[in-house]
Each structure stands twice: as C-alpha cells, then as structure tokens.
Structure 1
Amino acid sequence: MLTDLKPQAADKILMLIEEYKADTRQGKIDLGVGVYRNPEGVTPVMRAVKTAEQRIWEAQTTKAYTGLAGEPEFRNAMAQMVLGEVPSDRLASLATVGGTGAVRQALELARLANPGVTVHVSDPTWPNHLSIMKFMGLPFVEYRYFDNDSRGVAFEAMKEDIARAGKGDVVLLHGCCHNPTGANLTAEQWEEVAAILEKSGAVPLIDLAYQGFGDGLDADAAATRLLATRLPEVLIAASCSKNFGIYRERTGILMALAENNSARDLSQGSLAFLNRQTYSFPPDHGARIVSTILTDEGLRADWASELEDVRNGMLALREQLASELRDLSGSDRFDFIARHRGMFSRLGATPEQVSKLKTDAAIYMVGDSRLNIAGLNRDTVPVLARAIIDAGI
C-alpha cells in the first residue's frame, strides 16, 4: 500500500529555510520564514509567558483531558480580547491546534452547514489557505486584492469580486496585517465590505493571526468587531502564535457567531464534533498560558507592554527601510513599506529579481517577493536597501 503513495510537493518556504541553512556566506539574511525575531535574531519567550508557565507548573495537579472544546476560561478570555464586548448569546467557540487548525475547522464547519459552499479568497493569500482547501476538495475562487503598481489594495476590484459571493458562501478575509502583502483595508473600506456581505448573505471567515502586530490590540481587532456587529454570522480563526510568541505550543481558537441562541447551540455542538473527529481533545498548555496572562491584571499589562515594544520595533524598521530606499532611489516609490503593517510586505519584485537578491547578496525571501520585516535589524536594513536597488527592483 505505502509504495503506491504519490510524492507530495515540498513546501517552498521550508525549502527556502534549508537552502538558507546550507549557505556558508557571512552576513546572509533570512527574510523568508514567517516568525518574529528580535534584533539579535532570536524568537524570545515573552516575560509574561515565562511567569505564567511557572505559575502553571507550581499549581497544576493533573494532566487529565480538558473539554472537547477546550477550557472555558481560555475561550472566554480570547473572545474578550478579539471581540471586546462578547455577545455570549451568539458565540460558539473551539480551542484548536494553532491558527491553522482554526482555519481548517472553520472550513469544515462551513462545509457541514453548506455542502455546496464556495470559498472566496484574496489574491494573493497565505499559501496554506489554498493548500488546505485543495486538500479538502473545497471549491474556491480568488478575488483581486493587491495592486502590484501601488503595492496597496485594489479595492474597487476587490469589491466587484466579493460581491459575486452567494448566500452561504464564505469570504476569507485577513483581519489585519495581510499576509503576504502587508497592505490593509482602511476603516471606511471595511464598512463597504460589511455592506456588501450584508447584501449578499455570504459569511466572512476572518483569519486573525497578527492581532497586536499592526496598529495595536484594539485597532487590529476593529474590522473583526465591525463585522461581528453588522452581520448575523461570522467565523473568526485567531492565533496565539505571534502575539504571545508561543509558536510551538500550537494555540488557536475558532469563534462562530450565530444569528440566535438556537443556532449558537447547534454551532457549539458541531464544533465539538469536529474536534472529536480530528484530534479529539485540544492541547491545553498554550491555552492555559494565554488564559493565565489575560485573566491576571499584572501579567496582562506586562504582556501588552512587551507586545507594544515588538510592534513599535517593526514599525521603526519599516520607516528606516523606506527612508534608506528613498535616499538611494531618489524617489518615494518604496514608501509603501512604511504604510504596510505587520511582519510582511510584498515588494512587487519579479522572481528573477528575488533570485538575484539571493545569488548576489545572500538575501533570502519568498519567490513572490514577500519579505519578513522582523527578520531585519538596524544594521541589516542598509544592506537590504542597497541590494534592492542593485537588483533593479
């Protein structure tokens, strides 16, 4: 049987990581892998996370299973962080294996509710969105999102495309810090998106992987909160990997906002069913870290302060890179880098130019020219800026 397996395509980012590791040149720069790194190139354990883990270790008396949907304390704390005012009469939720698990369970829930569902997804989007849907056999269509000339959102084209989504279809949206482009909708544009979805009856699935990395915890949740208020049904897949820095703990949550109590109860039962069919009980350690932090005033304040330092550090790198490129190019054509938010920006370079960066300057980024701002520091920004100009970008 196993000899009949077909080879699977290798993940391009994982291949890039291995290529980077094998490069023996001094001064090489990794801007491909999508994790936060501090100026020393380390993905640190946050102070509040260390303290929370110590408290858990001292107080925990059992490793017995948690509930199928995860511990209520975690789910309630996350709902408050994401939604602000929690509509408990409408909210069903599920602890998941990371944000990726939340996206997968959201798509499974949508298919349970509507076997004929079509998913509308931005062009471009996080590659794993497409990979998951292809593996599931879910029909999907892409809507135009990124304007490669301005490096901003092609909003008129986006509106035209998402208006084609039918009732019961899913429109997959990035709540903030769009991956891979870094280009985000304005508050006014989100209002227009809400109006389109209200009219069509399509259900938004919001992937909220970077809350706190863009304009702040509440600002980054504003679009999600708007849609949750305006629309009868909303799916939200949130990750704790980035803003809590607990990547390897695989901690996420899926929230389903239903139209009424009855639909909420149906959704909650279906969510628990989906967990049972996939990995049964969800992992708890990362979820317990998060709930310990969010329910303790002192820990929450320290965590929020460190998260702000992370966010402001990335904004400073964006400003520095845009300034360096402005000086070197004699133009403002790279100012979009300072306007983008989150870890990523898409340069709009060709695959050949990206390859030239790697070959000539040992600078590694994804082939579509997505670069991870958090892979830089103050010393490497001028190196990247010069290499970008030399590559003809």
Structure 2
Amino acid sequence: MFEHLKEQPADKILALMQAYKDDPREDKIDLGVGVYKDATGNTPIMRAIKTAEKQLWEAEETKAYTGLAGDPKFGDRMAELVLGDAVPLSKVARVATPGGTGAVRQAFDMIRMANPDARVFVSDPTWPNHLSILKHMEIPHVAYRYFDSETGGVDFEGMMSDLADAKRGDVVLLHGCCHNPTGANLNMEEWKAVADLLNKQGAIPMIDIAYQGFGDGLEDDAAPTRLVAAHCPETLIAASCSKNFGIYRERTGCLMAIAHEEGRHKVNQGTLAYLNRQNFSFPPDHGARLVLMVLGDDALRTDWEAELEDVRTGMLRLRQQLADELRERSGSDRFGFLAQHRGMFSRLGVGPDKVEALREKHGIYMVGDSRMNIAGLNEETVPKLARAIIDVGI
C-alpha cells in the first residue's frame, strides 16, 4: 500500500525557518515565521494566561471529556467576543476546534456536506493553508483579486468584479481583519458593499478571523465580521485564539455557523458536533479553558486586554518607524502603505528575486511572495531592514 504514496512538497515557511537557523550570521533577521515576537525575539506567555494556568492547576479535578462541541461556555464567550450583540446567540451554532486551522477545515467540511457543488472564492493572495486544505479536500476554488502591488492597498474594484461571478450556494472566504499575507484591509463602506453583493448573488460569506485585537483594537477588528453576520442570511466564522491569547501550541479555535432563518440552529449545531466526532471526537480543552477563564474574570480580562493593546500599539510603532526610515532613505512616500497596513504582516509587493537578494546580501528572511512579519522587528533592526530594502532596489 505505502508504495503508492508520493513525497509531498516541503512547507515553504518551515523550509525558510530551517534556512534561517542554518545561517551563521549574527545580524540575521527572521521576518518569515508567523508568530508574534516581542523586542527580545521571544514569543511570551501573556500575563493573564499565566495566572489562569496557575489557578487551573490548583482547581482542576478531572481530565475527563467535555463534550463533542467542547465546553458550551467557551463557545458562548467566543461568540460574544467576535460577534458582540450583532447576532443573537440563539442563531449561532458553535463548537471548539483544534486551533483556527481546525475551524477552517471543519467549515470546509460543512460546506461540502451542505452543497457538494459549492465553489470557494479565495483572495489573491491568501494564507497558503487555505489553498492547501481546499486542494487536499478537492473542493473547487476560485481566486478573486485583492492586493494591488502598486499601491500596497486593496484592489477593491477588481475584487468586486470577480465576486460578481459567484453563484447561489458558492462561498466567499474573507479575512475578518489584518489580512494575511498583505496587511491590507477593506474599510467599513467596502465591507458593506461586499455583504450587499453576496446577498445579491446568493453566496455565503466565510470569515477567517485569526488576529482580532492585533489591528485597530478588539471592537474595531470585530466590526466587519459583525456587519457581515448581521446582514447576511448565513455566515461561517472560523476564529483563532493562537495570536490574541498567545496560546499557539494549545490549538484553540472556534467555528460558528450563523443562520437567521428560524429552525436552522438545531441542525447546524448537530452538524458541527457530528463533524467534530468524525475528525477528532472531542476538541482539546486546556487552551479553551484558559480563554474561558480570562474572558469570564474581570481582573484577568482587564489585564489581558491591556497586554493585547501593548502588543497592538507596539506593532503600529514599528510600522510607522519603518515607513519613516524608508521615506528618509528613498526620498519618497512610496512605502507609506506599510504604516497603513494592520496586523502582523505586510507584503512589499516585489518578486522572489528581490526577496532572495535580501536574504543573500543582508540575512533578512521573509516569505518568497515578500510577506514579512512586522513583529519580527524591533527598534534596532528596523533601520537595517530599511537600508537593505533600498540597497537591493525595491
């Protein structure tokens, strides 16, 4: 049997991480891996999470299963965090999943069950694992224009033109905030236009929200998702706790299926639980328990929100510093878009040859499509990156 297996292509980001480790240069900079790093290059455990873990260690009395959907209170808290009061909880089916990736996979499974003929429209570019999972599941997908390399912003006209080809029952995958890999986001007027178009076409929005709190704040980052969920008859939402709670390795996520039509909730909830059972039975609880504790305790939540705000504003300062350095060195404002982007990532909009030049000449590592992790910088390394960008002719 095994002789029929084929070697799979190496993950480009993992290969980049290894190349970085093998580079002997002491002044090398890693802007490839997609995790938050503080000024020392560490990915810290957030204070509120550390406190919750200590409390859990003292109070936890069992490791028995929670349920196929996870602890219902976790789903409640996540729905409140993402949706606020935009949609009544009675219309939101919700289950815990192994990370945001698990939520994405389960959402694709639900789409395939509900409509085997559905196509999934995906932004160009998007998080590579979106495409990898869709290809693995053999779900048809269609690219829609998104990033304008010339301006560093969203090609909204191209996006709307491409989404006009969506048919009833198709699914449009959207990034809730802090678009990965570009950092370029729609404004609220544009989000409303997208929601109106999807309703006109009869297409269903699926929102991947992995960076709530990393862009313009918890509430502002959730506003587009809330708008879409309130205005569209059906919405799928895959939410991740990896970044904003800093619990990457705990694999904590939540999948929500919203239906405004009466009587749909019970079937949707049962379907999500069924899919959990088929794929991994019971979702992991440790990370979900910590999130539940933080969101349910006033003191822990206040501390978490304060630290998350420090993370967010720190990345904004790095963005502005880099844009200022590049303005000074280039004598132009052509890099001003870097300060307008939001979240961990920005895309320079150059080809692999320039990215390779940055690596070879300056020891600066970023993904081949020129996505760079802003959180991989600090005040001392920003000038080095700016010098390198100008030196290689970007």
Superposed, 1:269-288 pairs within 5 Å as: 269-288=270-289
How far does the alpha carbon of each residue in 1:350-386 deviate from its partner, in whole angstroms, 9 at most, with x for none?
A: 1101000000000000000000000000000000000
TM-score normalised by structure 1 residue count? 0.99
1:381 to 2:382 alignment? yes
CA distance in 2, matches of 1:363, 1:165: 40
Deviation at 1:163, TM superposition (A): 1.6
1:25 to 2:28 alignment? no
How far does the alpha carbon of each residue in 1:320-374 deviate from its partner, in whole angstroms, 9 at most, with x for none?
A: 0000000000000000000000000000121101000000000000000000000
**Bigger shift: residues 254-263 or 293-302:** 254-263
SS at match of 2:180: coil
Matched-pair contact (CA < 8 Å) for 2:76–2:89: no
Superposed, 1:212-251 pairs within 5 Å as: 212-251=213-252
- Give the aligned partner of residue 43 of structure 2: 43
How far does the alpha carbon of each residue in 1:255-284 deviate from its partner, in whole angstroms, 9 at most, with x for none?
A: 000123421111101001100100000000
Alignment gaps of 5+ in structure 1: none
SS at match of 1:122: strand
Matched-pair contact (CA < 8 Å) for 1:173–1:206: yes
Q: Which amino acid aligns with 1:350?
A: G
CA distance in 1, matches of 2:90, 2:48: 32
Deviation at 1:198, TM superposition (A): 1.3
Q: Which amino acid aligns with 1:342?
A: G
Matched-pair contact (CA < 8 Å) for 1:98–1:252: yes
Deviation at 1:234, TM superposition (A): 0.4
SS at match of 2:75: helix
Alignment gaps of 5+ in structure 2: none
Deviation at 1:24, TM superposition (A): 0.5
CA distance in 2, matches of 1:304, 1:221: 14
Deviation at 1:201, TM superposition (A): 1.3
CA distance in 1, matches of 2:58, 2:157: 55
CA distance in 1, matches of 2:164, 2:221: 24
How far does the alpha carbon of each residue in 1:277-336 deviate from its partner, in whole angstroms, 9 at most, with x for none?
A: 000000000000000000101100000000000000000000000000000000000000
- Give the aligned partner of residue 62 of structure 2: 62
Matched-pair contact (CA < 8 Å) for 2:345–2:371: yes
- Give the aligned partner of residue 169 of structure 1: 170
CA distance in 1, matches of 2:357, 2:384: 14
CA distance in 2, matches of 1:147, 1:103: 26
Matched-pair contact (CA < 8 Å) for 1:176–1:208: yes
CA distance in 2, matches of 1:4, 1:161: 39
Deviation at 1:3, TM superposition (A): 2.8
How far does the alpha carbon of each residue in 1:93-143 deviate from its partner, in whole angstroms, 9 at most, with x for none?
A: 010010000000001001111111100000000000000000000000000
Matched-pair contact (CA < 8 Å) for 1:89–1:261: no
% identical aligned pairs: 65
Matched-pair contact (CA < 8 Å) for 2:70–2:95: yes
Matched-pair contact (CA < 8 Å) for 2:79–2:89: no
CA distance in 1, matches of 2:258, 2:245: 24
CA distance in 2, matches of 1:70, 1:175: 24
SS at match of 1:89: helix
- Give the aligned partner of residue 327 of structure 2: 326
SS at match of 2:58: helix
CA distance in 1, matches of 2:44, 2:280: 29
Matched-pair contact (CA < 8 Å) for 1:70–1:94: yes
Deviation at 1:164, TM superposition (A): 1.2
SS at match of 1:256: strand
Q: Which amino acid aligns with 1:26?
A: E
CA distance in 2, matches of 1:75, 1:181: 29
CA distance in 1, matches of 2:14, 2:119: 29
CA distance in 2, matches of 1:79, 1:55: 24
CA distance in 1, matches of 2:227, 2:391: 44
CA distance in 1, matches of 2:200, 2:253: 30
How far does the alpha carbon of each residue in 1:184-229 deviate from its partner, in whole angstroms, 9 at most, with x for none?
A: 0011101100110111111100000000000000000000000111
Spell out structure 1 runs of 4+ moving beyond 2 A.
none
CA distance in 2, matches of 1:264, 1:118: 24
CA distance in 2, matches of 1:29, 1:317: 15
Superposed, 1:362-381 pairs within 5 Å as: 362-381=363-382
Matched-pair contact (CA < 8 Å) for 1:89–1:260: no
SS at match of 2:37: coil
Deviation at 1:89, TM superposition (A): 2.1
Q: Aligned pairs, how many?
A: 393
TM-score normalised by structure 2 residue count? 0.99
Q: Which amino acid aligns with 1:311?
A: R
- Give the aligned partner of residue 104 of structure 1: 105
